[in-house]
Amino acid sequence: AQKITQTQPGMFVQEKEAVTLDCTYDTSDPSYGLFWYKQPSSGEMIFLIYQGSYDQQNATEGRYSLNFQKARKSANLVISASQLGDSAMYFCAMREGVRGSSASKIIFGSGTRLSIRP
């Protein structure tokens, strides 16, 4: 069964510093996708970044990058040059299968609350 673990319930970071949010996962399916979502206090889930299990390079999207270490089954999110607006809950998520009918539901970790200090 697929499982996502986020061990950091909360983090405080100084503005403009980089921050790494940890995520480990477990699956027996060789084909899977990993996601990070941001959930501000307003409640909406905002997609940030995606990494496929067969992707050769780590995913990057602007200030977000995903440190994908397949052998360790980890998919840490790195936010460079943090901003006050980055304060939110961050969820790591996984889907077995990649696309089409083989793609299963996305399951989420318990989240990390990130607080950026001015």
Q: Round to whole Å and give the CA distance between 104 and 112.
A: 24
Give me 44's structure tokens: 């909406």
Q: How far is the CB of 91 from other proteins (least distance, A)?
A: 5
Q: How far is the CB of 80 from other proteins (least distance, A)?
A: 21
Tell me whether residue 85 or residue 100 sits nearer to other proteins (CB atom).
100
Contact (CB, 8 A) for 97 and 32: yes
Residue 7 CB contacts under 8 Å (≥ 6 apart), including other chains? 22, 24
Per-position x/- string for 28-67, each x denoting binding to other proteins as judged by CB under 8 A, each - no binding: -----x-x-x----xxxx-x--x-x---------------
Sign of CA dihedral 96, 24, 76, 114: positive
Residues that bind other proteins (CB under 8 A): 4, 33, 35, 37, 42-45, 47, 50, 52, 91, 93, 95, 98-101, 103, 105-111, 113
